[in-house]
Amino acid sequence: MGLDEPPATHARPERRLAGGLAVLFAGIGALAGVDLALDVGPATTLRHVLVEGGVFLLGLVGAVWMTARLSALLRHTRQLTGRTEDLAQRLAASTREAERWRQEAADLIAGLGEAIDRQLERWNLSPAEKEVARQLLKGLSHKEIGGMRQVSEATVRQQGRAIYQKAGLRGRHDLAAFFLEDLLDPRPPRK
């Protein structure tokens, strides 16, 4: 099931099948019961009654079993729908919170982005290295960066090593700390 596909849509064919089979079994049981009732008489053999009685019972058992299955599917669908709605509400709340934070910090983020770009220039990074450095700062893996840039993971690793060498850093953690360490220091309480 995809994220954009509601659980009810995903389970609908199975519910239809269970409902259809329940009706089919009930129909078979009803027909066998009617036939048995019409056939009962002095000329009816015990074997005939047992066979039609067995078909009647199998039809009823099948109908009850498929009805129970349908009921379980409906219950499960309601649970999934409730969970989907809860997740959708939580996602919407998180999206609103992130947007609120972005709006509050827009000027600061823009200024930080410009400051990071200036520092990347000072390190004499190539345009590709700058792009890799920005993605590393965002926390993307080498594989993710390679996929975005349509280059191999090995190429991204090599560009990362070039960035760290030019910047005089030991690795990804030092790169992040270079830009974020002072931002995340505890601030003195406001008076």
pLDDT tens-digit series, residues 89-118? 999 999 999 999 888 888 888 888 899 999
Contacts of 178 (CB under 8 A, 6+ apart): 119, 167, 169
135 touches 153 (CB < 8 A): no
What pLDDT score was predicted for residue 11? 62
Other Cβ atoms less than 10 A from the Cβ of 53: the count is: 14
Calpha distance 37→66 (Å, rounded): 25
Distance of CA 34 to the CA centre of its chain: 50
Q: Where are the alpha helices (DSSP H) in the chain?
A: 7-39, 46-122, 127-138, 142-149, 153-167, 172-180
Calpha distance 36→50 (Å, rounded): 9
* Structure tokens, 134: 């920005």
* Structure tokens, 172: 């990804």
Q: Each residue's pLDDT tens digit in the chain (191 positions)? A: 444 555 555 567 877 887 888 888 888 888 888 887 887 777 778 887 888 888 888 888 888 888 888 888 889 989 999 999 999 999 999 999 999 988 888 888 888 889 999 999 999 999 999 999 999 999 999 999 999 999 999 999 999 999 999 999 999 999 999 988 877 766 666 66
This model's pTM is above 0.75: no
